[in-house]
């Protein structure tokens, strides 16, 4: 059902290009003006129906820019971005139209809705409900809506959240984030 992974190329967006150039993993493949474009649409009108399926299709130690356009809808899936899946952007068209949700509990590192372990990631125009494990690497989140109860953004990544709405469902005093920094000298 899905086309060959590398068959889609598009003009690269300058904002994303600047972020990747500033990354610690810059190489000649990442400093190009094109990206692989893949569309996720759960109704079957895209290249993939699930976000995790395209992430799994990206080769390990990827060095090409991959732009995953996610069509509006509620995606009930657990997303895990492994550490060897670099240079990936996941983008909806507007934050309240592309919702990633899961309902899990238990061990803190096993239960997140969205787990980010790769570096050089960009997330835009997404709603992530429940928990975001933002544990390693450098990430840029723009115009996202992230909702949860307690410590719903946690990890040890060096991340920038720009124009994001963080919504706490807690009825009492509760932390939104839980930084896992081990010492003041860490730059996370």
Catalytic residue among 84, 130, 151, 173: 151
The predicted-structure confidence for 40-80, as pLDDT tens digits, reads as follows 999 999 999 999 999 999 999 988 999 999 999 999 999 99
Q: DSSP code of 165?
A: E
Indicate the average pLDDT of the chain: 79
Q: Is 41 a catalytic residue?
A: no
The predicted-structure confidence for 164-177, as pLDDT tens digits, reads as follows 888 888 888 877 77
- Among residues 134, 131, 113, 112, the alpha carbon closest in space to that of 188 is found at 134
Within its chain, how far is the Cα of 149 from the centroid? 20
Which residues constitute the domain of residue 127?
Answer: 5-179
CA distance 116 to 100: 14
Q: DSSP code of 57?
A: H
What is the number of domains present in the chain? Answer: 1
Q: What is the CATH number of the domain that holds 87?
A: 2.160.20.10
Question: Is the separation of the CB atoms in 81 and 88 below 8 Å?
Answer: yes
Residue at 174 is within a domain: yes
């Amino acid at each position: 059902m899905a086309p060959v992974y590398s068959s889609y190329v598009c003009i690269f967006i300058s904002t994303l290009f600047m972020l990747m150039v500033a990354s610690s993993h810059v190489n000649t493949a990442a400093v190009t003006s094109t990206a692989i474009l893949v569309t996720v649409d759960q109704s079957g009108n895209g290249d993939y129906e699930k976000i995790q399926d395209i992430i799994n299709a990206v080769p390990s130690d990827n060095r090409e820019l991959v732009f995953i356009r996610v069509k509006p809808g509620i995606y009930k899936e657990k997303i895990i971005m492994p550490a060897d899946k670099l240079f990936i952007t996941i983008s909806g068209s507007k934050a309240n139209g592309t919702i990633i949700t899961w309902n899990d509990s238990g061990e803190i590192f096993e239960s997140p809705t969205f787990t980010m372990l790769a570096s050089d990631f960009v997330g835009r125009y997404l709603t992530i409900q429940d928990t975001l494990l933002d544990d390693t690497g450098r990430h840029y989140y723009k115009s996202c809506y992230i909702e949860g109860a307690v410590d719903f953004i946690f990890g040890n990544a060096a991340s920038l959240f720009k124009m994001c709405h963080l919504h706490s469902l807690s009825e009492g005093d509760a932390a939104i984030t839980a930084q896992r920094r081990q010492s003041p000298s860490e730059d996370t």
